[in-house]
């Protein structure tokens, strides 16, 4: 061991001295270090005790102490900086999704993802507008539409657009498991920005949209779903967005009919990625989660 190391005071004693010098109070130093006040005071029994002098209940630094403190603090900073270099920094990724996808599907699943991917710092950019991979610094996106999306992108199908009607169980007549298709339009119909009710009426129910049908309009599907849960009326949504609410009994399907849409949900990443390894981890996690939900849907 180098001779200089043999002259070093114990590390805990140095920490006690630095905290005491900063607070000028043994009690506050002890609280910071999570030790007893007596332990902090005993640490002052080292050869450098002359660096601190007690004045009643308050501590005061001697001239030697004032000169000693900056060097000790810098030494601790150097140790901290060197230790930080040993710890890998989390990869910061931005995922672009719609607000409805974020609140109804992505966010409830994030705790599990974070637990298994501690070195991925995921930033969620929720917006109805289409984000740019370059201008907005987006690493991965979930986009609804029809491919191709561009030659420089890798695209995977995440969820097909399977549109179903949903409402609160409280809207169903007592003892009845559904609503007759002809009676659907007697209820408030929740419209979102996609405005799929006329098409759903015609293709799924074989009916024409009545002009006198009661409507409530929202700019996001997630808001229409929340209103349906609250018993405000009947909403249309992609099945995967409401699967958890149906399983929990918060929503039911008043009619069994569904409509296959043409605007499927896709996972999109650029071919040239800033952080290839964590980007692929997020991409694969999204695809695996979608695959598990598809299996559960078939089993049900």
pLDDT digits (tens, 9 = 90+) for 106-120: 999 999 888 888 888
With a cut of 60, say whether residue 50 has pLDDT above it. Answer: no
Q: How far apart are the first and last CA of the chain?
A: 68
Q: Is the domain defined by 162-260 classed in CATH 1.10.10.1800?
A: no
What is the pLDDT averaged over residues 50-78?
75
Fold agreement (91-155+264-289, 162-260): yes
What is the pLDDT averaged over residues 98-105?
94
Residue labelled with tokens 């290839």: 276
Q: Which residue has the higher pLDDT, 280 or 47?
A: 280
pLDDT band at 48; cut points 50, 70, 90? very low
| Torsion sign, CA atoms 123, 128, 132, 133 | positive
Q: Is the domain defined by 91-155+264-289 classed in CATH 3.40.190.10?
A: yes
Map out the domains of the chain as residue ranges.
Answer: 3-86, 91-155+264-289, 162-260
Q: Which residue has the higher pLDDT, 228 or 173?
A: 228
Q: Which residue has the higher pLDDT, 88 or 266?
A: 266
pLDDT band at 224; cut points 50, 70, 90? very high
What is the pLDDT averaged over residues 25-29?
82
DSSP the chain: --HHHHTPPPHHHHHHHHHHHHHT-HHHHHHHHTS-HHHHHHHTTSGGGGGEEEETTEEEE-HHHHHHHHHHHHHHHHHHHHHHHHSPPPEEEEEEE-HHHIIIIIHHHHHHHHHH-TTEEEEEEE-SSPPPTTTT--SEEEEEE-S---TTEEEEEEE--EEEEEB-GGGSPTT-SS--GGGGGGSPEEE-TT--HHHHHHHTT--PPPTT--EEE-SSHHHHHHHHHTTS-EEEEEHHHHHHHHHTTS-B-SS--EEE-S-EEEEEEESS-SSHHHHHHHHHHHHHHHHHHHHHHHH-
Look over the chain and give the mean of its residue pLDDT values, rounded to a whole number. 86
Q: What percent of the chain has pLDDT over 90?
A: 48
With a cut of 60, say whether residue 54 has pLDDT above it. Answer: no
Q: Is the domain defined by 3-86 classed in CATH 3.40.50.300?
A: no
């Amino acid at each position: 061991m180098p001779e200089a190391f043999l002259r070093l005071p114990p590390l805990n004693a140095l920490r006690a001295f630095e905290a005491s010098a900063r607070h000028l109070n043994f009690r506050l130093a002890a609280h910071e270090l999570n030790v007893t006040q007596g332990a902090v005071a005993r640490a002052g029994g080292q050869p450098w005790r002359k660096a601190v002098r007690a004045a009643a209940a308050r501590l005061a630094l001697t001239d030697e102490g004032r000169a000693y403190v900056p060097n000790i603090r810098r030494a601790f900073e150097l140790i901290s900086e060197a230790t930080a270099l040993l710890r890998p920094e989390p990869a910061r990724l931005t995922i672009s999704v719609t607000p409805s996808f974020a609140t109804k599907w992505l966010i409830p699943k994030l705790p599990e993802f974070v637990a298994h991917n501690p070195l991925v710092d995921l930033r969620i950019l929720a917006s109805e507008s289409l984000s740019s991979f370059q201008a907005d610094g987006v690493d991965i996106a979930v986009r609804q539409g029809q491919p191709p999306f561009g030659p420089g992108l890798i695209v995977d199908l995440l969820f097909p657009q399977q549109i179903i009607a949903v409402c609160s169980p409280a809207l169903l007549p007592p003892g009845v498991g559904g609503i007759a298709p002809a009676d659907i339009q007697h209820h408030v119909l929740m419209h979102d920005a996609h405005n799929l009710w006329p098409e759903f009426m015609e293709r799924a129910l074989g009916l024409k949209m009545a002009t006198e049908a009661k409507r409530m309009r929202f700019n996001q599907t997630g808001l229409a779903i929340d209103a349906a849960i609250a018993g405000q009326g009947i909403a249309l949504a992609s099945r995967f967005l409401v699967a958890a609410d149906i399983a929990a009994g918060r929503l039911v399907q008043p009619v069994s009919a569904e409509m296959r849409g043409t605007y499927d949900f896709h996972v999109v990443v650029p071919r040239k990625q800033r952080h290839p390894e964590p980007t692929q981890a997020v991409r694969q996690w999204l695809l695996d989660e979608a695959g598990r939900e598809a299996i559960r849907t078939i089993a049900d």
